[in-house]
Structure formats: C-alpha cells, structure tokens
Structure 1
Amino acid sequence: MEPPCDCCSEHIQKLNQQVSVMRKEIKNLRYVVTAVSRMSCCQEEKATATAAASPASPQTTLEQASISGIIQTTPIGFISSCFAMKNGTPRQPTVCGPSRAELRIQQNIFNNPQHALLGLQHFSYVWIIFLFHKNGQLSCKAKVKPPRLNGQRVGVYSTRSPHRPNALGLTLARLDKIESDDRAGFQFLRSTDEAASAIRGILSADPRSVYRRTRCKDRLFFFTLDTADVTCWFGEDFAEVLQVRPVQSHMKSY
C-alpha cells in the first residue's frame, strides 16, 4: 500500500483538527444542558413544595428537604477582602499574613443582630462556612487540573477548586475585632446619633440667608452634611427634616 501524498496528509490533519473542535463544543454543550436541567429540576421541586396545602412542622420540613436534596440556607453576611479579583488571591492564608477581610453581618436576620455576637470577642479564631456566589459557572467537572500539579488531572473532591456541585467552602479566620456598623456611610461623623445631633444644631441656628428668610416664599432648604444631602422645611418657629440621602456628587474643596 502506497503512503498518502502530502495533500492527503494535510487534508487528514485538518479533519482531525475539526473533529477535536467539535468534541470540545459537544462537551461544552453537555455542561450547559446539565446545568439547565439542574436549574429546571430545582425550580419544579421548589414550586411543588410551595404549592403544598398542609403546613408541616420545621423538623418534618427539614427532613423532607434533606431527603429531596434541596436545603435552603439564609446568608448571615457577606465578606469583602483586600483581594478584589481571584487572580493573585493566595490559596493559603499563611502565604499573605498581613491580608485582611471584613465580614458584615446582615441586619435582617434577627430583631437585635448585635445580640448574636455577644461573647464572640472572647475567641481568637472562628470557623466560617461560605458560598462561592461569584463563581460565574453553573457546571462543574469531576476531574480538574490544579495549578501546582503541572497539568495532572485529579478528582475535584481532592482539590480546593471552587467549581463543585455544592460551591461551599470552610476557612479558619483570625478574629481581630468586632465593631458595630453605626457609621451609616459617613466619612467624618462617627454615628447616626452624631449626625442627627449635627442636623439639629444646624437647623436650630437657621442657616438660611436673610433674603431667603424674608423674601422667598419657598421654605425648602438644602444643605450637605458629611456625605449626606439634607432636605428640610422651615415653618413658623419649627424646622422639619424631609429627606436625607447620599450625595450625588461629592465636591472636595482644598
């Protein structure tokens, strides 16, 4: 049998490349179809659970949810750190000791959210269970290539890959301090009570000009305090705050 000519070899090579590309496209389509199927199943089961007529006890509901494989959780807070992007973020916290992160507890979980933190200041470290909610992918692979294994494929459960069926993580964090978030976005004022006191002081002094007090029929008055725009109304021997909102464009003067 004669060996193939050069033109046939090039043609076969192009066909192999096209087949390789088609295989990759089919693989990606399978991931997308799997992710869509999971989402549709979750929505159907959630709709079925919502349409149930008889209310069940919390213990029964949790037991049924564990059997069906759908357990709803409520985030108690959100973490922000000095690493804004995943690129460059250390895989181990000991790699970058000076790095810091902040966990803001949601205010709508409890009626008195500060009560949930009582006694936590006596501990040096805390365990944090978190969700990779910014993965950007709905699908996951059974085998992955960790960066430090030089292309070797291993099972996803033997790695720290955030792309897994349940994108949950566990970390041990050092607790530096616990602070109450009472600044409400102010830059110079230290609390909302201090801001309210400052507004009362400004209004009691009647910051309007003589022209506005004597000539203008419009009794609305606007002023900026720290990072807030304050709208108030001056009546007969009283002043009322109508609106307080963040400044739209904060101008700095030097």
Structure 2
Amino acid sequence: MDNMANSCSSAQPTRLDQCLQAIGFMESVFNKKNGTPRQSAICPQSKGCIDLNKCLFNNPMHSLIGIQDFTHIWVLYYFHMNTNKRCPSKVRPPRLNGQSCGVFASRSPHRPNPIGLSLVKLEDVRDGKLYVSGIDLLDGTPILDIKPYIKQYDSPDCLPMPANIDRCLTSSETSSDSISGDLESLVVLNNDNEVTTQRVSNELQQFDNNSLPNDWIDGSVVSEVSVEFTEKSLKQLQNFHTRVEKNLCDYCLKYLKPIELRDAITNLLRADPRSVYRRNKCVDRLYYFTIDSIHITSWFDIETNVVEVIKVKPFMTKQLSNVD
C-alpha cells in the first residue's frame, strides 16, 4: 500500500497545465509598496474596489448574487509587482526583525506561486464592483478569485472540538518528552525504500537549536511605534476634501473621507511598514509613502521609538521616482 501511494505521488505533475485568468482588478488607495500594510485589517480606513472583468461573464452581476449577505470576503490575487528572480526556501519576515523562517511559515510575497490571500470587509456591491475596506493590495492588482468568509468554517474558534478532547489534553501521553519521542521516530522512505530515522532526528535537533521566539506567531516580535503629527502636517491634512472644487482638484480624495485621514496614517505607521534593511541599516530615517491622493513624509526616531508625520501634500505620478 505504501509503495502504491509513493508511486501515485511521484506521478503527479509538478506544473499545472490550466492557465489562470484575472477575474478583475483592484482599485486601491495604495499606489506604491511603501506604506502599504503587510496584512489586511491593519488599517480599517484603507479602501478600494474590485472591478470585475466584464469579458468573463455575460452578466457580471449574476456572479455576485448573494455575496452582499456576507460581512467579509477572501480575496486571492497575484503579486504582479514582484521583482524577485528566485524563490528562497527561507525568508526573513519584517515582523521577525531579521530572523528567518520557512517560506511556508510566512506571508512573504516571494513564493513558488506568487499568490496572495487577504480577508477584507465588504462595504457595498453595485455596478459589478465590490467596494471593500481594510485592504493591503496595490492599485492594479490582478484578482484571481473571491470567496465569502463564513465564520462557522473559517474561524477555528467556531469549529467543533473532538469528543475526547479532555482526555487528550490530560493524558500523560501528550507530555513534551513523549511528543519529542514521537517526532524523532518519524520515518522517511528514501529512493531505496530504506527507513531513515536518523536524518529526521538530526533535522529536528537543528531546528530546535535555531528556534524562533515564543511570540513570533502572534506578530508581536516587532513592537509598534508611537505616531505623532507636527502642527504643520495637521493643517495640511485639512486641505484635503471629497469634492472637486475649482483650483483644488489636487486635494480631492478618491476613497477616504477627510475625517478618516489622521487615523489611516496613524494605523499605517504604527505597524512600522519599513523593511528590515531600512529599519536597521539606513542612516536616513525619512520615510515616504502614499495613500489615496496624499503623499506623506515621515521621520522615524530610533532612540524614542516614535515616528513623526512632518509633511503632507497632494500625490502626483511624477513623485513616484522620489519614493524609495
């Protein structure tokens, strides 16, 4: 039976023949990687909409019937701005501040298949578009699929527990020594179908010696920073509005409301969007990013763990070359 399973596994193709197609594209408040949240829900004020591909269905609205009944949706998308030439097996997520982990234990965009997954809040559905908030996608991101978030299935807290869970948790068989012994007794069949337990034991030992911090899973390794605004930047924020006025069109917001601006910028900076390299190596602590129609200049003070918003102005395409 094991030989048969091994034979079937080796017969599986490593490349898929079916081609994926974009079902739509994201219209987002984020135009550049700088300042874009690494995860959805970090900035609830970040908004956008998914414009469905009108050529995919004869009537795109038919594909959305019933989706308005859900509060959140899963969005699968393609990392179209990736520039990496290779796919490493180990990566250094920013939240680990320089420490590495396996690529499949991370949310890194640099993966064998550059596919992202975000949980976003569904605000409205109209004219074949899905209006969403709490996004972490760049403008123009190709969307591969949309699925409704169903709490009963998607939240582990809502899943039924095994009937014998109490016995399992209190059993002496689940002690750390027993678990370690069970892991070390794992077997792997090599090409000659020989049992090789020693290699597994060595790999476990090596992993244990390079163990990650206890709090790396909940994302608390990189601490949040305090966000402050200069008086000048607060006055500059007041120039932005939601309607086009004569000679003020550069200050017109596309998605955000003026009342949301300060909170949106605060949420983005509080999570420290800088890369590990910029955080640890760059002498220049200025950090530029854009959201909606706004270009923000901030300053990170590493001694006080404070970031200060020092300048806010309209965002224009020609400014992209100055954004690191």
Structure showing the higher helix proportion among its residues: 1
Report the TM-score when normalising by structure 2. 0.34
TM-score, normalised via structure 1 length: 0.43
Report the structure number with the largest CA radius of gyration. Answer: 1
